[in-house]
């Protein structure tokens, strides 16, 4: 057995290069800063790389480090900005460079040949933000951006660029769930259905706000659509929840628990270098430190980081310790996502409404399908479950030979 491989860990740095954006999506949590041209400089990025490289090079196991380039709209930067910083990254990470990848999350409205080259040869992955329905991803004029994005998706396909999509679930897109699923199924494109996060100001989401009690049945419907289909696309978070139930009924699989004190898997880095856990983004009370001025080692050991860890552990203790799925589910949803997705009951008590609800739904469906035997607590039909696992493992890039625009 390759011990090195077994011990490999992953970490993501979500890099807010600039908040500047050409769109004004109505739910954007950066809304008030979308006109701000301030950007991370190449020198600041160099310093950040040095601090990150120094921290991970001292560990006695391999770490895969991924930079997720985010905004605003990250492709508003000139492609040269990325080519230069990627060169510097290779130099600074040295021996670690082969473990470093770069992906970009884009609204895909500013594509030209230079940017297509960047997406083809510079980035290792591309995430496209598109809701397809609901009309909330608007330009400054108020016009919907969807037609432009669909045309540009076609250009990605023509250029054989791998991509996945993120669609935000709001009250405006909720009625189109079947159409959204069918679009991605026919296009053979992986996607994540992301519930609405808190906005940038009070009342921003008025008219399309969605509660956990509405998100849960929508995701359960999506589970049913996926199970009824023969598609091999991965739908997050559905695919990871199906994997959780498979683990839950696989006694030979070791339990695992999210241990934030032992390993941070995602850091959010703001334009000014401030570092946050994803769930506490931009709350000045929970800034771990600054990667433009401070070594990551110091940031990881900072009193604020310890406080953030304690808060996450408390959330897990409250919601997860009595949950039957704990150990198959790591508790990560309560530790890191509960605050921004409002996982509370009517009395305001923390409760795992969405994740636990979906897990129960998947479990029920697999029992109904005869895949799980509720009496033995084992998986009955290993062939069926293997095919489910194969589908989850499928990482096919888009194979669509049809135009995205014609799928709507
Ligand atoms: S389903 Fe929810 S409560 Fe249960 S372990 Fe996972 S995050 Fe915790």
Q: Please list the pLDDT of the chain residue by residue as tens digits (408 residues).
A: 333 445 899 999 999 999 999 999 999 999 999 999 999 999 999 999 999 999 999 999 999 999 999 999 999 999 999 999 999 999 999 999 999 999 999 999 999 999 999 999 999 999 999 999 999 999 999 999 999 999 999 999 999 999 999 999 999 999 999 999 999 999 999 999 998 888 899 999 999 999 999 999 999 999 999 999 988 899 999 999 999 999 999 888 899 999 999 999 999 999 999 999 988 888 999 999 999 999 999 999 999 999 999 999 999 999 999 999 999 999 999 999 988 888 988 888 899 999 999 999 999 999 998 889 888 888 886 665 566 555 554 444 444 445 565 555
Tokens 């033995």 correspond to 376
Ligand 1 pocket check for 352: Cβ under 6 Å: yes
Ligand 1 pocket check for 319: Cβ under 6 Å: yes
Ligand 1 pocket check for 245: Cβ under 6 Å: no
Distance (Å) from CA 11 to ligand 1 centroid? 22
Query: Which domain range does residue 24 map to?
Result: 3-210
Ligand 1 pocket check for 326: Cβ under 6 Å: yes
Ligand 1 pocket check for 149: Cβ under 6 Å: no
Cβ contact 233:191 at 8 Å? yes
Answer whether residue 59 is part of any domain.
Answer: yes
Q: What pLDDT score was predicted for residue 370?
A: 86
What ranges in 163-302 are assigned the alpha helix state H? 177-187, 212-228, 238-248, 296-300
Answer whether residue 36 is part of any domain.
Answer: yes
Number of domains composing the chain:
1
3-state secondary structure of 112: coil
Ligand 1 pocket check for 277: Cβ under 6 Å: no
Distance (Å) from CA 288 to ligand 1 centroid? 26
Ligand 1 pocket check for 199: Cβ under 6 Å: no
Distance (Å) from CA 324 to ligand 1 centroid? 8
Ligand 1 pocket check for 132: Cβ under 6 Å: no
Strands 63-70 and 9-16, by their bridges, are parallel
Distance (Å) from CA 275 to ligand 1 centroid? 26
Answer whether residue 34 is part of any domain.
Answer: yes
Distance (Å) from CA 317 to ligand 1 centroid? 10
Answer whether residue 247 is part of any domain.
Answer: no
Question: What's the CA gap between 138 and 146, in Å, rounded?
Answer: 8
Ligand 1 pocket check for 329: Cβ under 6 Å: yes
Largest CA distance in the chain: 61
Q: What pLDDT score was predicted for residue 251?
A: 87
Q: For a pocket test of ligand 1, which of 316, 333, 361 has the largest count of ligand atoms closer than 8 A to its C-beta?
A: 333
Ligand 1 pocket check for 331: Cβ under 6 Å: yes
Q: For a pocket test of ligand 1, which of 319, 345, 358 has the largest count of ligand atoms closer than 8 A to its C-beta?
A: 319
Residue 283 φ/ψ region, left for φ over 0, alpha for ψ in the -120 to 50 degree band, beta for the rest: beta
Ligand 1 pocket check for 215: Cβ under 6 Å: no
Distance (Å) from CA 326 to ligand 1 centroid? 6
> pTM of the full predicted structure?
0.91
Using alpha carbons only, how large is the chain's radius of gyration in Å? 21
Ligand 1 pocket check for 359: Cβ under 6 Å: yes
Question: What's the CA gap between 401 and 15, in Å, rounded?
Answer: 33
Ligand 1 pocket check for 312: Cβ under 6 Å: no
CATH of the domain at 102: 3.20.20.70
- Cβ within 8 Å of residue 341, ≥6 positions away: 195, 197, 212, 215, 354
3-state secondary structure of 290: strand
3-state secondary structure of 103: strand
Cβ contact 63:5 at 8 Å? no
Cβ contact 134:176 at 8 Å? yes
Question: What ligand 1 atom has the least distance to the C-alpha of 335?
Answer: 7
């Amino acid at each position: 057995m390759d011990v090195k491989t077994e011990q490999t860990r992953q970490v993501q740095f979500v890099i807010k290069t600039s908040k500047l954006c050409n769109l004004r999506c109505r739910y954007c949590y950066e809304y008030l800063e979308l006109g701000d041209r301030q950007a991370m400089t190449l020198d600041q990025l160099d310093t950040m790389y040095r601090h990150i490289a120094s921290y991970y090079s001292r560990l006695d196991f391999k770490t895969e480090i991924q930079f997720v380039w985010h905004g605003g709209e990250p492709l508003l930067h000139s492609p040269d900005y990325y080519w230069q910083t990627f060169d510097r990254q290779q130099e600074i990470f040295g021996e670690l460079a082969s473990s470093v990848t770069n992906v970009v999350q884009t609204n895909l409205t500013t594509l030209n040949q230079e940017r297509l080259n960047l997406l083809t040869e510079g980035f290792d992955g591309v995430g496209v933000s598109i809701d397809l329905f609901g009309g909330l991803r608007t330009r400054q004029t108020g016009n919907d951006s969807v037609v432009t994005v669909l045309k540009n998706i076609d250009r990605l396909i023509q250029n054989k660029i791998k991509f996945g999509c993120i669609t935000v679930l709001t009250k405006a897109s909720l009625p189109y769930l079947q159409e959204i699923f069918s679009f991605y199924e026919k296009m053979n494109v992986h996607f994540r259905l992301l519930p609405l996060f808190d906005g940038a100001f009070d009342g921003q989401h008025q008219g399309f706000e969605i509660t956990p009690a509405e998100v849960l049945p929508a995701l359960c419907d999506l589970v049913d659509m996926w199970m009824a289909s023969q598609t091999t696309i991965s739908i997050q978070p559905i695919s990871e929840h199906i994997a959780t139930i498979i683990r839950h009924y696989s006694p030979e699989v070791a339990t695992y628990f999210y241990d934030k004190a032992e390993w941070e898997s995602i850091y959010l880095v703001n334009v000014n270098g401030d570092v946050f856990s994803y769930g506490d983004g931009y709350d000045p009370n929970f800034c771990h430190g600054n990667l433009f001025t401070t070594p990551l080692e110091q940031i990881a050991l900072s009193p604020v980081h310890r406080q953030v860890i304690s808060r996450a552990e408390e959330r897990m203790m409250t919601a997860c310790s009595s949950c039957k799925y704990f150990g198959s589910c790591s508790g990560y949803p309560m530790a890191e996502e509960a605050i921004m997705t409002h996982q509370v009951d009517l009395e305001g008590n923390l409760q795992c409404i969405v994740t636990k609800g979906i897990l129960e739904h998947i479990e029920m469906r697999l029992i109904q399908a005869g895949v799980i035997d509720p009496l033995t607590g084992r998986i009955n039909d290993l062939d069926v479950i293997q095919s489910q696992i194969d589908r989850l493992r499928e990482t096919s890039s888009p194979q669509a030979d049809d135009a995205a625009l014609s799928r709507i």
